[in-house]
Amino acid sequence: MTTPLAWFGLPDDADERELKRVYAKRLKETRPDVDPAGFQELRARYEAAQAWCRQAAHVATPAVDNTPSPPVEAGSPPVDEATTPPPAASWRAVKFDEAQPATHASPFDAERFATAFLQTAATRHPLDLLSWLQEQPELWSLRAKQQAGHVVLRRLFRDQPPMTAASFDNTLQFFGMDHALAGVDPLHLQQLRTNLHEWHALQQRFEPAIEAWNAQSPRVDAETVYRWFCACARSHATEPAIAALHAQPALQNGDWRQQLAPQLLELVVRERPPMPAATAASLFDYFRLYELAHGRGASLQDMPSQLEVLWLMLPENASRLALRVRDAKKPYGEAKKSSRYLRWVQRPFHWWWILLTSWVPGLPTALGLFLWRLSEGVPSRLPRTIDPALARFCIATASRHVVAGPRVLVGVIRCGSLLVLGGVLDALWYVFLQEPYGEPGSPSLLISALVITAAWAAYITFVALLIWQRRPEEPPQARPLLRIAFVPAMCAAGVLLWFASGSNGLGVGALLPTASLAYGRYRARNPLPPAGARTRWSTIPDTLFYIGLFLSMHWAPGMALVALAAWGMDLWLQRKSLRWRPGAKPAASPTGRA
């Protein structure tokens, strides 16, 4: 008689262990995704042979009898065939378990299998991982295999354990998710593959410096993780700290990390530990603190940069701070100067602080640039140890795009101090040398201070007017008609001054700033093309302006004509977007219709 074991090439007395070994070899040759019909036949043959082996194992072995058995009559069925019931056709095994009968097989636990897979993938070679997957009897069922594939992929997206790219590819291929019909975005899979491989490469690179701690997760709490990682981030570079975080056995379970996340979020927000931005971002991603904070109505997008500012302000990071705030034109930073500026901005912001910084030439501007570069242009990233009012004052003083109140205040303090000093020195000169003001050869520091003050006032007024004139038409500006008519009005005033005084010097002195305003307005609102797109005709207006300005130095009305030419050129080029009154629409739409 032919038994179900004969199809597998096994003897009639083979046990279930030998059957599984042969079935695993046949399974490598007959894959369900390549030959579905062959796999179904293989599966049916295996189930029948397995039932045969189990039935034979449960039959009691009789005592050994040396007496010959009676002859079998012709036409009678064989003993084995008559006494062995056929296997039930409706029986299907869900999980192969030798200790339990097939009718009481336990259901497949996909989550437990995914946990075992993640542990195996972290330690085995990609080919060994593929062999391990093929040898799992739970996955011989197509339904269980599909369920396990979805759970494994979900756990990979959630936990993102260190894994080589080859292991990830083998996993997708085994579970049939390496094609577009699997229902998973290929871009997301590629990003996941890159992240897992980077974590694995980082861990392998710094493996000698990584030490596991608290391998038993029940002994780990959020306070322990927080203190350990803060010390690690402060004493190590970014990459070793990230590698150590991903290598901790106690944190490999995503469910356990999710339980630690709320308390860890409270500790980070409350204490704000100093660490590099990349390290903090990795910590937030690993514990999913971004999503947790968003669910509570908060945002942690800027938190890594804030923690990095605190980290740069530590004394041991003085050289890194110098590189952060250095001038872009210099290839190196000055650690001593940066430390001195840091001490200045951490002092209390009082009136005497403003006086002291104003008396030091260039200090308010240097402090403003220091704070701007330290915060990377976002003053809200500065820590609480720096007064926000002090930061706003210094940054406004250093700004060259606007004439702000702090900048004017610093100039007023300097000019006032210079006037007071000039008056005191002139008084001392008169008391000790008995030389009154106005005598031939007698100096007057007060008059010099007045000239310097007037020059500064004229300069700051010119800068304010230039910034006002250079503003674009969009967004709409206040008092547009006044801004348009300012240059012609100044030209008329300069010509009247020249005509009334009869002095060409007074007229040129009044019209030269006006011509500069007109040209600055024209060039700022109509910039030159990029260097690669310029032609020899692009700079003709600039050349004509400078030639006209030079030729009109001896005739004031000619300078007024040069200023009006630059002003008129700007109006012509901006004619489609001009606004003549507040709230009015542009003179022409972008399509050219009025």
Residues in the chain: 594
Q: What pLDDT is recorded for position 4?
A: 80
Domain boundary assignment for the chain: 6-57, 110-200, 219-313, 315-398, 480-528+537-576
- Cα separation values, 388 from 343, 372, 380, Å: 15, 12, 8
pTM above 0.75, yes or no: no
Residue 162 CA to residue 249 CA, distance in Å, equals 12
Q: In 136-209, which ranges are E strands?
A: none
Cβ atoms of 508 and 559 within 8 Å: the answer is yes
Q: What pLDDT is recorded for position 433?
A: 67
Q: What is the mean pLDDT of each run of 10 residues along the chain (594 residues)?
A: 77 81 80 75 82 69 44 41 41 40 60 83 82 84 85 83 86 83 80 82 61 53 85 79 76 79 91 91 88 88 92 91 88 88 93 92 93 92 92 91 89 93 84 62 76 92 90 79 90 91 87 91 87 81 88 88 92 82 60 41
**Closest alpha carbon to 349 in 381, 386, 380, 383:** 386
DSSP codes joined into one string, 465-497: HHHHHH--SSSPPSSHHHHHHHHHHHHHHHHHH
Cβ atoms of 234 and 275 within 8 Å: the answer is yes
Q: What pLDDT is recorded for position 211?
A: 53
pLDDT tens column, 65-92: 444 444 444 444 443 443 444 444 333 4
Cβ atoms of 445 and 435 within 8 Å: the answer is no
The terminus-to-terminus CA distance of the chain in angstroms comes to 101
CA 155 vs. chain centroid, Å, equals 24
Q: Which residues contact 164 (CB under 8 A, 6 or more apart)?
A: 126, 196, 197, 200
Helix orientation angle between 318-325 and 303-312, rounded to the nearest 10 degrees: 120
Asked if omega into 488 is within 30° of 0 (cis), the reply is no
Residue 260 CA to residue 229 CA, distance in Å, equals 14
Tokens of 125: 């070679």
Residue 301 CA to residue 75 CA, distance in Å, equals 86
